[in-house]
Amino acid sequence: MLRNTTIVRHLAQGLTLKASYKQEDKVEEIERVYFAKLSDIEQLSSAPHIEEQEQWEYRLFEDDRPIGTLRSRSIDQGDRYELTIKTYRKNGPGSEECNLGSTVEMHDVIAMLADRVLRKVRYVYPVPITWQGEEINLKWEIDAFKLENGSFYPWVKVDLEVPDPAVNAPQFPFRADEIIDTSFGRTLNDDERKVIDTLFDAVKSTR
């Protein structure tokens, strides 16, 4: 009973935070997403920014299709916390996100509700590009997933948020043995889907 009371109380706090969202807190996100097999994960240690993340997720589905995610991240072992609510578009690429700074209490509540946790190291590489005559700053975000024994799974997830689906991806900041492109508009074959499913089966944990 105490556990349920705690969940309700902190969710109420979360709803209060959500009610305080300004329009600028909600962002439209279009990402190019890849999975890459790296025989040398250590090469990522050259990234200008590196952080450890513990990510608890509660995923929403409709007819076996993902429609949204509620997630909480503890970054650098509790140095800061982030709460994100993401909804996926039914038609067209991208999603809508609301991001907030959060607390350890809210993180613990999301952990109680979550259906999986991912423990990972994120490597961030800024990359300037020219788009429609203007220079804009993008960034590669590369997630290396930790196994229970502390080692890394050989496949990493690679995200590049872009302002428009027509923006081509710049050169990857690493050497990869294999790359699977899962970006908008691309249909995966059975072998590619199996690689990705196997990755998340290997690295996810329910507690």
Domains and CATH numbers, the chain: 2-10+27-203 (2.40.320)
Q: pLDDT tier at 190 (50, 70, 90 boundaries)?
A: very high
pLDDT in tens, 1-11: 344 444 444 44
- Over pLDDT 70: what percentage of the chain? 86
Give the whole-number percent of the chain exceeding pLDDT 90.
Answer: 64
Q: What is the mean pLDDT of residues 167-193?
A: 94
Q: What is the pLDDT of residues 115-151, one digit of tens each?
A: 899 999 999 999 999 999 999 999 999 999 999 999 9
Question: What pLDDT was estimated at residue 8?
Answer: 42
Is residue 94 helix, strand or coil? coil
- pTM for this entry: 0.85
Q: Tell me what the mean pLDDT of segment 107-117 comes to.
A: 92
Residue 166 has what DSSP assignment? T
Residue 77, Cβ neighbours under 10 Å: how many?
9
CB-based burial, 89-110: b 16+ in 10 Å, e otherwise: eeeebebeeebbebbeebbbbb
pLDDT value at 101 more than 70: yes
Q: pLDDT tens across 32-45, in order?
A: 999 999 999 999 99
Give the model's confidence band at 184: pLDDT under 50 very low, under 70 low, under 90 confident, else very high. Answer: confident
